[in-house]
Each structure stands twice: as C-alpha cells, then as structure tokens.
Amino acid sequence: MALRVDYVVRETATNLRRNLTLSFATVVTIAIALTLVGAALLMKQGVNRANVQFKGDVQTIVYMDAHASQDQIDAVGRALDQNPHVKSKNYLDHDAAYAEFREIFADDPALRDSLTPADTPTSYKVQVRDASFEVVQSLQDQFSKLPGVFKVVAATDRVKKQEDSFAKFSNFSLLFALIVGATSLVLIVNSIRIAMFARRREIEVMKLVGATNWFIRIPFMAEGLIQGIVGSAIGIGIVAALREWLLPTLVSGGGIWLNFRLTVGDVQGTGYVLIAAGALVGIFGSAVAATRFLDI
C-alpha cells in the first residue's frame, strides 16, 4: 500500500480529534517532563556560571613584613608577574595599607590608632585566573616561603567548600534530568499505547486488507511528533516564566544562588534542546508503542 501525504495528515488529524482527552493528557505529560528536564539543564548552566563568577571574585593577599626591604618587595612582585596563574596584582605601600587599615577598623578607635604608617605591612592583592583549590593552595605555599613575606591569606577552605557544593549540585541536576527524561519516555509510551489499544480493531482490519506496518505506524508517529512539539513548547514557556519570576527571588535569598545567573540565550539554547527532545520522544514513543499491535 502506497503511503500518501494527504492520508497521513488526515489520519493524524482524525486520531488527535477522536482522542482529544488522551492527546491532551499526553501533551501535559510531555510538558511537565520536559519542564523538569529544562529546569535541570538550566540549573546546571547556572551553577557553572556561578562557579566561574565565584572564582573570579576570589582574591589572595600577600602580606609583606613591615620591615621588609625594597629588594624583597620587588622580588615578590616579579615572582607574581611570572606566575601563570596570576591575573593581576595591586601593590599597597605603607600609606595605602595604613589608610585601608584605618577604614576597616573605623569603629574601633583603640585598634585603629594602634599602628603608624611605617608599622603597617605592605601587601600585594592578587587576582587569580582560575581560583581552583589546587591553584590557590599552591600560591599560598609558594609565596609563604619567600623572604620578606609575613603571611599569605587565601580563601582555600572557602574555595574547597564552594567547589564541592557546586560539583554536587551540578551532578544532581544532570542526574535529575536523566531520570526525568527516562521517566517521561515511559509515560509517553504508555499514553500512546492506550490510544492504540482503543483502535486495535481498526489496526487489525487494516492489516487484513494488506496494509504494511509502516503504513499503519506513520500516522501514529506523526501524532506523537505533534504532541511532542506542543508539549515541549508549553514546557519552554513554563521554564522561561520560572526564570523571569522565580529566579530573582532565589538570587535575593543569597547562599548558593547569590551568583546564579541565566541569560535569555541560555533559555533559548535549552528551548532548542527541549523542542528536539519532545519531537524525538514523541516519534520514538509512538513507534515503540505501535509495535506490539502490529504483530497480528
């Protein structure tokens, strides 16, 4: 039996209209599943961006001894310039360090007036290119041993804790997306199987008059394609609404969400993935569901 486009369009429309309630249930299932998948993918992107932002804000401070010689100070500066992990450095001389000291302890007059500019240690404020735990720890170990260095202050514990938190959250988001995706496929297959079970007699008649398996299967796959695209479009709309309304509330709450950022481009990219996923899941689910009713 030859398969015509007008036949596929007509049968697909008839199937959707005849099983309007079941089609609606399938679309809702796809929409909910892909909303969860899209949210998980966006969370992973947001976590990665927040991790980059956090590492960009990490600063290491090399405190020189208050009485370190100029040669020792210059040697530390050259070592920082030659280090490939150092993005930039800012040197605070005695006067600048003293002004910062007085500003920090402005509310404590006794401590604020306890030093003179000459007694205030100079320092290098260092910005690191990739503030991973290993890099920050290596900088601290390297510069703590140089002559004239009093102390190196680095947020190693904070970086380690943040890295672990981001890694766990990112892995959870990915695992969640995979589980939800697999669950949604099962739900869609079952929904389409119910639809085909209601038409099993019609399929038997078509087989008896010589219809091939693909002749029967194609309209159902087209039906699944439409349901998948409509469901994914609804899911994209929900994900975009969550970014617009829910994300600002989470960011304002601070914590791990403080540097969480999602752009319109992130939502668009995820939308393309969801459209493709919805279409593929709809087609594949329909093809799998149809198989059990074609062996007559």
Cα–Cα dist 182/39, whole Å: 15
For residue 179, count other CB atoms closer than 10 A to its CB.
13
At 151, the amino acid letter reads: K
Judgement on whether residues 29 and 89 belong to the same structural domain of the protein: no
Averaged pLDDT, 272-278? 86
At 65, the amino acid letter reads: D
Q: What are phi and psi of 125, to 5 degrees?
A: -95, 115
Judgement on whether residues 204 and 75 belong to the same structural domain of the protein: no
More confident site: 231 or 113: 231
Of 46-55, 118-127, 193-202, which one has max mean pLDDT? 118-127
Final residue belonging to a domain, choices 109, 136, 154: 154
* pLDDT tens column, 177-208: 677 767 766 766 676 677 667 667 777 777 77
> How much is the mean pLDDT over the chain?
76
Supply the pLDDT for residue 56. Answer: 53
pLDDT(53) > 60: no
Residue 10 covered by a domain: yes
Closest by Cα among 291, 158, 292, 148 to 214:
291
Supply the pLDDT for residue 139. Answer: 82
Indicate the pTM of the whole model: 0.57
Judgement on whether residues 203 and 229 belong to the same structural domain of the protein: yes
Final residue belonging to a domain, choices 154, 178, 206: 154
* pLDDT tens column, 6-16: 666 777 777 67
Report the phi/psi class of residue 117: left, alpha or beta, with left for phi > 0 and alpha for psi in -120 to 50. Answer: alpha
Number of domains in the chain: 2
- Domain membership of residue 245 as a residue range: 5-53+161-291
Judgement on whether residues 28 and 110 belong to the same structural domain of the protein: no
**164 alpha carbon, distance to own chain's centre:** 15
Supply the pLDDT for residue 170. Answer: 67
For residue 102, count other CB atoms closer than 10 A to its CB.
15
Supply the pLDDT for residue 254. Answer: 56
**35 alpha carbon, distance to own chain's centre:** 14
Cα–Cα dist 134/27, whole Å: 48
> Residue 137 sits in a domain of what CATH number?
3.30.70.3040
Cα–Cα dist 36/178, whole Å: 10
Final residue belonging to a domain, choices 154, 173, 189: 154
Judgement on whether residues 42 and 166 belong to the same structural domain of the protein: yes
Judgement on whether residues 81 and 165 belong to the same structural domain of the protein: no
